[in-house]
Structure 1
Amino acid sequence: MSITLIIYVSLAVYVIISLAVSVFLIRRDDLTKAQKVLQIILAWLVPIIGALGLWQFNKSQDEPISRNKDFGGGASSSGNIASGGD
């Protein structure tokens, strides 16, 4: 599958879902005009803001990987296990 096809399909799904939510919100009688406008704006922006927010959050959690760690060794050695103990 081509990456451009995936992008176009994703964009189409995003637009269809956002339009459906917008129409649903417009048709509601229990919301004021200001509430409808703000909720429609949120419906269109949350996927974008959410993706950028998650990217930034995960990027901030990255820690540099230290490659100079000692492995094993120390006071207790596994040499006694192979010989059956004492």
Structure 2
Amino acid sequence: MEFEIWYLVVGIAILLNIVVSIFLARRDDLETFQKGAQIFIVWLIPFFAAIGLCLFHRSQDAPTKKHKNFGEGPRDGIAGGSSGD
């Protein structure tokens, strides 16, 4: 019974490392050395590095902006606004 749990833990760690390695390799904002170093860290420290680096890079992504309907842009005084004088 004990060995079966270890197989499950190791299997989850390998799957998590593969997913995070692919995620890091596909990022455009990292240089080649940074990608290689972070993937190495993920495989060196399985659970903590994989989860930590994935969460870190997810938090660094710019949030997507919602599109505004036509005519709901910023009002900068072009049409009928004051000139500021």
Specify the alignment match of 2:28 in structure 1: 29
1:39 aligns with 2:51: no
SS at structure 2 position matched to 1:19: helix
Q: How many aligned positions are there? A: 49
Alignment-mate amino acid for residue 10 of structure 2: L
Specify the alignment match of 1:8 in structure 2: 7
| Aligned residues of 2:17 and 2:46 also touching (Cα < 8 A) | no
Higher relative contact order (CA 8 A, sep 6+): 2
Alignment-mate amino acid for residue 46 of structure 1: I
Show structure 2 runs of 5+ residues with no match: 50-85
TM-score relative to the length of structure 2: 0.53
Provide the alpha-carbon RMSD of the alignment: 2.1
CA deviations over 1:9-55 (Å, ceiling 9, x no partner): 0000000100010000000001011000000000111238x9xxxxx
Show structure 1 runs of 5+ residues with no match: 51-86
Alignment-mate amino acid for residue 22 of structure 1: S
Q: Which runs of 4+ in 1 moved over 3 A?
A: none
TM-score relative to the length of structure 1: 0.52
- The structure with more radius of gyration: 1
